Each structure stands twice: as structure tokens, then as C-alpha cells.
Amino acid sequence: MATASVSFKSREDHRKQLELDEARKAGLAPAEVDEDGKEINPHIPQYMSSAPWYLNSQKPSLKHQRKWKSDPNYTKSWYDRGTKVFQAKKYRKGACENCGAITHDKKSCMERPRVVGAKWTNMQIAPDEKVESFELDYDGKRDRWNGYDTSTYTRVIAEYEAREEARKKFLKEQQLKKLEENNGNQDDNDAGSDEDVEDGLKIDEAKVDESNQMDFAKVEKRVRTTGGGSTGTVRNLRIREDTAKYLLNLDVNSAYYDPKTRSMREDPLPDMDPNEKFYVGDNQNRLSGQALEFKQLNIHAWEAFEKGQDIHMQAAPSQAELLYRSFKIKKEKLKSETKEKIMEKYGSAASEEPLPRELLFGQSEREIEYDRTGRIIKGQDTSIPRSKYEEDVYINNHTSVWGSWWKDHQWGYKCCKQIIKNSYCTGLAGIEAAEASADLMKANMARKEAAEEEPIQHEEKQLAIWGTDIPDDLVLDKKKLAESLKKEDERRREERDERKRKYNVKWNDEVTAEDMEAYRMKKIHHDDPMKDFLR
């Protein structure tokens, strides 16, 4: 209940207030009324209905729940576009140098730049614009339709209505022209016939305005108004002079009429002459015309989808209809082929060809002998049991079946000796090429094995003392080589300890072949794994 600011109440007053609240909630007491005379819902909680203490509310009210604090500076108005205030005759100081208006400067001028501005010509001074400033609230700043004039949309409606009228007028002229051509093509002898009278009536009916002719088939419907929408005209396809389907047979046990869907599936008058009935039930529409064909199309799409084909009636209706047409063509073709095979084998009773003698009399000269169990002993060839798999089917130009040739634990084709099942038959040329390839591969393998068995002999070249090939006539003296080795040892000893070098040293620049050989023999090779044991 909406109450005023909190005040002290005695226990008795508090109890009476609770009882009154319960009575108002139960509907036994009238609801409380606020300052404006509006009833207050008694089921509103107290923390919502009680006004804050700083409002000093003396009477029950719900104004504190509404927007009671408003700013008078906010406005809902909008700019008056295109309005001119004053047009001067002479240029004024501070005005636009281009057009002469005082409300903007040259930089903000929206007029085409003149060759000589109004400041210097003092002619064609533009009028001043109406400059307004509004202080909009939060919603006004973000209202995208603020300042929109709804009357401007009438131009769009008028444009579409004119287009529709022109379309109807064009269709009416085409219809009249077509009827007049049909009427003019008839012979003069049939001028008084009934067909001419009917054509004349059709022309007269076409000349009548459609709005005046079909007034009985219009229903006023309210859409988007306070009572249910804007008023508009909706065309009803049923003529009101016809008898409703649920009034054709008033018997309780007759065909059931569903008022929700307005459908009557069964025939309301099954005993009536079919030529005199104009309604035979909704099921008749489902079992005739294109409805039955559409039903078969749906069934075909379902069955094809269950068998693995990517077909869907709702997703791709054109594809489904195309597949159904091709299915019917193939079905008719298969049916005709089967019929022709049967007629070739057994003949046709409708044809004029005479039947064979053995079929006509049902007997022949062939003798068949049976045993006691009914098995054939002689007189008829025993039938060879056929396999469930396809037999004698040759693919990819092969003249033999897969598995007719065996080699090296692999099956293949006998005609071309290939072991790949989906290969194309190459005939004798393929066999010769395969044999030549096999021979070449065997020869290559034999040559490779022979090359692996023979060790590769690398010719060792002995380098000379100068890093070149050793000449054949080179001979080293063993005594000189021994002396050169001693000299090399002494030289290395002096390099390790300079104190053993003599003061008077005789230097000899001549290097013999024995000296170079001694240097090579004493040189430490860094890649030698035994270099640490040479010292």
C-alpha cells in the first residue's frame, strides 16, 4: 500500500492497518486511491509503495516511482531546416566573403565558390540562415528519428500506388486487345452464334472496373491500430453466395468439419449424384491433379535419401524433381525392355505370328528318364549352379576376367599379364614390354652384384718432397738421409731450448732431397692418432 512519510502509530492502529491491507488484497475492501484519483494495487510491496522521508509526502501516492524530477531546459523540438531569416541588400562587416550571409564565414560556406565574392561585388547577397541551439536530453541526443516528418512518406506510398494502377491498366488493355482479336478472327457466318454472344459478354465484363465488379469479395480487416491495426482491404476467394460446406448436410453423423482449419475431409453427401455435386470433400483434392504427383515426388525423395543419395525435397526442390523425372524415364525404359525380352522369348498372343509347334501342343520328341526319387538320369543336361557374383564381365578392354592368371603368388589378367585389377588392357604389346623390363632389371641386378663382389683398387700416389709427384729417377742416399735426420733432431732441440744454440752459427741455404725427406719424416701430423708417441 502506498503510504505517506513514516509516522508513529500505536499498536492498535498498526493492527487495524494490517487488517485493512489484508481485506484490500482479498478484495473485501476498496483499493486505496492516490492524489490523482487512481487506484493503487494493494499487492505492491511496502518498500516500493512507501515514499522516502525527504519528499514529505502527506497523501498516499506512487509519484516517487515515476520520473518526478524533470529539467525544464530540455526540449523536444528540432531544427527548422531551410528557413531564411533576413536578406541584406549590402555587404555587412563580418559576413561571409563568398555569399554575404552573416551566419557563417567563408570557410564554412556551402555555396559554390564565386569568381568574385559578394564582399567585392556587393550583389546577390545570400539570406541569413536560421540558427538555433537546443539542449536535448539523453534520449533526444540519441533519437535517430528526431525531426523526421512523417508526411514525407506519403510520397513513397503515392509512387507505389501509381505504379500499381499503371500495371493494372496495362493488363486490362492487353486483355481487351486479346479478346477483340479473338472476336475479329471468327467468320461472318457465325456472327449470330452463341460463341459471339459469350465473347461480347466477356468484353463487356472486362470493361467493368474490377473494384465495382468484385465488391462482394472484399473484407475490411483492421491491422496496426488501437483496435487491432490499420484498416486495409483483404480479398476473400470464397463467394458469399455459395453454401458453406458445414451446411450441406446437417446430420450429426455426417462428415466431420474442423472449425479450426475449416476443413471437411470426407464427402458430406456421398449418396448424391456426382454430376450435381460441386463439393466432394478435401480428400478429393489430395487424390487428384498435381497433389498426387507431388506426393509421389516426396516419397521418391525420402526413399532416395534412405538409400544414400544426397537429395532433399525442401533444400533443393528443383534437383529432386529433375531426379524424379529421370527416374520415371529409366523406369519406363526398363519396363519396355523387359516386355520386349519376354515377348521375344515366349511370343505375344496379340501378334499375328503363329506359335511354335512345341509350345502350341505342349509336347516334343525329347525323351527324359527319371529315377524313383524324381532325379533326372538322362535326356536333359544338368544345370550348372550359377554364382551370386557377376560372371564373364570384362572391363577396361580386357578379354579375360580378373584371376585368370597367376604368377609369384599374385592374381592377374591372362590377356595382358597385369596384376593391377583396375588397369587397362595393353595386349601383347604390354606383355612384351613387361618381359623387356624384367630382363633389363635382371641384367642391372647382375651387374650390380658383380660390381659389389670386385674390390675397388685405389692407386696410391706417392708424393715427392716438394708436394708433387715423385719422379721415377729420384734416388735417396741412405747415409746422407741419416745425417739429415740427425741435423733435424739437433734443430728441433735448439728450438725447444735456445740456450744450446752456439754463438757462431753457420747458415746454409742449400736444401737437398735428403733434408726434405728428413723434415717430412720428423714432421708431426696433427691428424695422426699416434702423434703423442713420436717425442
Among 300, 326, 346, identify where a domain stops: 346
> Has this prediction a pTM greater than 0.75?
no
Distance from C-alpha of 312 to C-alpha of 305, rounded to nearest angstrom: 7
Please report the pLDDT score of residue 169 as a whole number: 93
Please report the pLDDT score of residue 225 as a whole number: 44
Does a structural domain hold residue 307? Answer: yes
In a structure prediction context, what are the per-residue pLDDT tens digits for the chain, which is 535 residues long?
555 545 667 889 989 989 999 999 988 899 988 888 888 899 988 888 888 888 888 778 888 887 766 666 777 778 888 888 999 999 999 999 999 999 999 999 999 999 999 999 999 999 999 988 888 888 888 888 888 888 889 999 999 999 999 999 999 999 999 888 888 876 555 555 555 555 555 555 555 445 444 444 444 444 444 444 444 555 555 666 778 888 888 888 889 999 898 888 899 998 888 888 888 888 887 777 788 888 889 999 999 998 888 888 888 889 999 999 999 999 999 999 999 998 888 777 676 666 666 566 666 667 778 888 877 777 765 556 666 777 778 888 888 888 888 888 888 888 888 888 888 888 888 888 888 888 888 888 888 888 887 665 555 544 454 555 566 667 788 888 888 888 888 887 777 776 666 666 666 667 788 888 888 777 766 666 776 665 5
Does a structural domain hold residue 176? Answer: no
Does a structural domain hold residue 113? Answer: no
Among 449, 479, 510, identify where a domain stops: 449
Does a structural domain hold residue 424? Answer: yes
Range of the domain at 16: 11-65
How far the first Cα of the chain sits from its last, in Å, is 119
Distance from C-alpha of 242 to C-alpha of 236, rounded to nearest angstrom: 13
Distance from C-alpha of 535 to C-alpha of 493, rounded to nearest angstrom: 11
Q: What is the pLDDT of residues 460-482, one digit of tens each?
A: 544 454 555 566 667 788 888 88
Q: Specify the 3-state DSSP secondary structure of 463.
A: strand
DSSP states along 213-280? HTGGGEEEEEESSTTSSEEEEEE--S-TTSPPGGGS---TTS---BTTTTB--S-S-TTS-TTT-S--
Number of domains in the chain: 3
Please give the DSSP secondary-structure letter assigned to residue 126: P
Dihedral (C-alpha) 245, 247, 248, 253: value to the nearest 10 degrees?
A: 100
- CB under 8 A, 24+ apart: contacts of 488-497: 488/515, 488/518, 488/519, 488/522, 489/522, 492/522
Please report the pLDDT score of residue 325 as a whole number: 92
- CB under 8 A, 24+ apart: contacts of 175-183: 175/206, 176/203, 176/206, 176/207, 179/203, 179/206
Does a structural domain hold residue 352? Answer: no
Residue 223 pairs in a beta bridge with 230
Does a structural domain hold residue 333? Answer: yes
Does a structural domain hold residue 209? Answer: no
Among 45, 65, 85, identify where a domain stops: 65
Distance of CA 85 to CAs 79, 90, 104, 201, Å? 14, 16, 13, 66
Distance from C-alpha of 49 to C-alpha of 352, rounded to nearest angstrom: 106
